[in-house]
Amino acid sequence: MAGTLRVVLGDQLSRGLASLQDLDPDTDTVLMAEVTAEATYVRHHPKKIALIFSAMRHFADSLEGEGIAVAYTKLDDPDNAGDLTGEVARAVARFAPDRVVAVSAQEYRLAQEMQRWRTACGVPVELRADERFYCSIPWFESWAAGRKSLRMEFFYRKMRRATGLLIEADGQPTGGQWNYDHDNRKRAPDAIGQPDRMRFQQDAITREVVELVRARFGHHFGAIDGFDYAVTAQQAEQAFEAFVADKLPSFGDYQDAMKVGQPMLFHAQIGAYLNCGLLDPHAVCARAEKAYRDGHAPLNAAEGFIRQILGWREFIRGIYWLKMPEYAEENRLNAKRPLPRFFWTGETDMRCISEVVRQTHEEAYAHHIQRLMVTGVFALIAGLDPRSVNYWYLVVYADAYEWVELPNVTGMALYADGGVLGSKPYAASGKYIDRMSDYCRHCRYDVKQQTGPDACPFNALYWDFIARNRDKLEGNARMTMPYATLNKMKPEKLDGLRQQAQAFLNSLDYAEEGEW
């Protein structure tokens, strides 16, 4: 074959991908490969693997429907090389292309491996930038250069101006403010029901994939039963439209709320689709703005939603590429404790945690506040080792890829980067969870008690965290309040709290490394 071999990875399922834009159907072949190395570099939730494999197979079918030649390697193909480099080398030997073209991977690990394709293949390899984001890596680097601190809010304003999203003709933000977060902290009323998300029946391709995943990866954390995700761009768009119709209007108000038995409330559940390419962030943000301009959604909802994607998602990716590979080793609070086993089993009397772990096991999903303020806060105040915590988050969510998972965990949840991403740790006692959820009402612990057998463990752990990190955090202007309270606390009271925290931590069962 004289032509180009175009490699498409499992999270690059976008027809407009940079490596497909100049494709010549008369000469070129697209390579896609299901490989053990990608399915097991961490033991991903089975629903994530099923999503990727089924979406890959549907994407390959739709390219073939356009008359494009696709070389597709299934996981159980006897000649499967087992990793992407091996599959590219095998395809080069088979098709003898003039060159290989691909979009560089979003994960550092695989991006490094792709650099080695040049030597592994013996033909020129062109690696292109991923254009599916609003902000290029060089643009982020130049924005970050010379700044003393990197704050999402300033980055976000710059992005709003650059894109014109929710910007008026006079250049001012729509409604006069950049951010309506103060309207977005309502507790969900008892009677509120969550509209369901759109669920999709498995077709023959998905059924085959689900059985493959059950057989090969059924031992990973997470349920494969009930797989009902969108697996094509068209389905993902339907799911997103259903969110816009039913949930976007309340997205802002209840963004931080949590309720027993209601895993998504008014969240979009689109992270997995955005991250594997089935949804386009530009289209999603434009649609949210339109919903506001058409009078369907209030401004606090549309702005809050757009900020998550245009602001947080882009900022997080920028930080990842700015700080890798050192970022993966960060542990500024010197946290060393292994992961308690209940992160995997959900077996704990702490209702907030058991609820989030159970739902994560079933759905491969938890919304942002559950990730940040339940499992995240627990990991922070209990001093869990960032490597183990990162591993857990990378395993359990269908939208987890290191480029977005790592800064959220190391930076936002654990403050293990010492403040690169956030200005202060999100440490909290049980009071926050009680304010934003109904979990405490269904818990055997009493959120109002600080010590004693019924006291909510978050309370003592919180003060233990504040006390043990005094040297690192007391100078932080945003931590003035807790240290003022700590400094006024009677030594006997602090001792009691710290002993309570230690006794609780000593009572836990911890997972062995490599066990999960």
Binding mask 294-313 for ligand FAD (x = CB under 6 A): --------------xx--xx
Q: Please, what is the minimum distance in Å from the beta carbon of residue 88 to ligand DLZ? A: 10
Region of 295 please: left (phi>0), alpha (psi -120 to 50) or beta: left
Nearest to 10 by CA among 93, 102, 101: 102
Q: Give DSSP secondary structure letters for 248-291.
A: HHHHTTTTT-BBTTBSSTT----HHHHHHTSS-HHHHHHHHHHH
Minimum Å gap between C-beta 423 and ligand FAD is 15
- 466-469 — which CB contacts under 8 Å span 24+ positions? 466/427, 467/494, 467/498, 468/383, 469/333
Residue 510 is encoded by which pair of tokens? 């911890």
Q: Which does 413 bind (CB under 5 to 8 A by kind): ligand FAD, ligand SF4, ligand DLZ, none?
A: ligand FAD
The type of residue at 258 is: M
| Candidate residues 14, 54, 184, 275; the one interacting with ligand FAD per rule CB under 6 A | 275
Q: How far is the CB of 356 from ligand SF4 (least distance, A)?
A: 10
Which residues ranging from 379 to 418 are in contact with ligand FAD (CB under 6 A)?
393, 397, 399-400, 404-405, 408-409, 412-413
What 3-state class would DSSP assign to 72? strand
Which single residue is written with the structure tokens 């890959």? 56
Residue 221 Cα distances to 12, 204, 364, 439, angstroms: 25, 25, 9, 24
Nearer to ligand DLZ, 390 or 500 (CB): 390
From candidates 17, 258, 350, 369, binder to ligand SF4 by CB under 6 A: 350
User: Distance (Å, rounded) from C-alpha 393 to C-alpha 397?
Assistant: 7
CB of 458 to ligand SF4, least distance (A): 5
Residue nearest to ligand DLZ (CB): 10
Nearest of 207, 157, 6, 171 to residue 88 by alpha carbon: 6
Contact of residue 273 among ligand DLZ, ligand SF4, ligand FAD, none (CB under 5-8 Å per partner type): none
Q: Which CB, 301 or 460, lies closer to ligand SF4?
A: 460
- Taking the CA atoms of 119, 121, 126 and 128 in sequence, report the sign of the dihedral they define: negative
- Under the criterion CB under 6 A, does residue 360 sit at the interface with ligand FAD? no
Which listed option, ligand DLZ, ligand SF4, ligand FAD, none, makes contact with residue 367 (CB within 5 to 8 Å by class)? ligand FAD
Interface with ligand SF4 (CB under 6 A), residue total 14
Of 29, 40, 99, 103, whose CA–CA distance to 69 is shortest? 29
* Distance separating alpha carbons of residues 44 and 399, to the nearest angstrom: 10
Phi, psi (rounded to 5 degrees) for 214: -60, -45
Backbone angles phi, psi at 132, to 5 degrees: -80, 0
CA distance 217 to 283: 34
- Which partner from the list ligand DLZ, ligand FAD, ligand SF4, none does 267 bind, CB cut-off 5 to 8 Å by kind? ligand FAD
> Toward ligand FAD, which CB reaches closer, 231 or 404?
404
56 or 285: CB nearest ligand FAD: 285
Of 95 and 240, the one with the shorter C-beta distance to ligand FAD is: 240
Instruction: Show the 3-state SS of 167-191.
Output: ECCCCCEHHHCCCCHHHCCCCCCCC
If the CB atoms of residues 88 and 105 are measured against ligand FAD, the closer one turns out to be 105
The binder of 440, among ligand SF4, ligand FAD, ligand DLZ, none, by C-beta within 5 to 8 A per type, is: ligand SF4
* Contact with ligand SF4 (CB under 6 A) among 458, 462, 465, 516: 458
Residue 33 binding target from ligand FAD, ligand SF4, ligand DLZ, none, CB below 5 to 8 Å by type: ligand DLZ
Nearest approach, Cβ of 461 to ligand FAD (angstroms)? 17
CB of 416 to ligand DLZ, least distance (A): 22
The residue type at 316:
I
**Helix boundaries (H) for 266-401:** 271-276, 281-293, 299-306, 314-323, 342-345, 351-363, 368-370, 377-381, 386-396
357 binds ligand SF4 (CB under 6 A): no
Q: Which of 58, 259, 351, 367 binds ligand SF4 (CB under 6 A)?
A: 351
E strand or H helix at 234? helix 233-246
| 99: β partners | 4
With CB under 5 to 8 Å by kind, the binding choice for 447 among ligand SF4, ligand FAD, ligand DLZ, none is: ligand SF4
Binder among 205, 291, 369, 433 for ligand SF4 (CB under 6 A): 433
- Secondary structure of 469-513 as H, E, C letters: CHHHHCCCHHHHHHHHHHHHCCHHHHHHHHHHHHHHHHHCCECCC
Our finding on whether 445 is near ligand SF4 (CB under 6 A) is: yes
Q: Which does 352 bind (CB under 5 to 8 A by kind): ligand DLZ, ligand FAD, ligand SF4, none?
A: ligand SF4
- The distance of closest approach from Cβ of residue 132 to ligand DLZ in the complex, given in angstroms and rounded to an integer, is 12
Q: At residue 510, what are phi and psi to the nearest 5 degrees?
A: -110, 145
Q: In the complex, which residues of this chain contact ligand DLZ (CB under 6 A)?
A: 9-11, 33-35, 38-39, 44, 49, 52, 84, 105-107, 110, 401
Find the part of the chain contacting ligand FAD (CB under 6 A) among 18-26, 28-36, 172-180, 269-277: 269-277
Q: Is 376 in the site for ligand FAD (CB under 6 A)?
A: yes
Find which of ligand SF4, ligand FAD, ligand DLZ, none residue 9 binds, CB within 5 to 8 Å per kind: ligand DLZ
Q: Smallest distance from the beta carbon of 106 to ligand DLZ, in angstroms? A: 4
Q: Which residues bind ligand SF4 (CB under 6 A)?
A: 350-352, 430, 433-434, 439-440, 443, 445, 447, 456-458
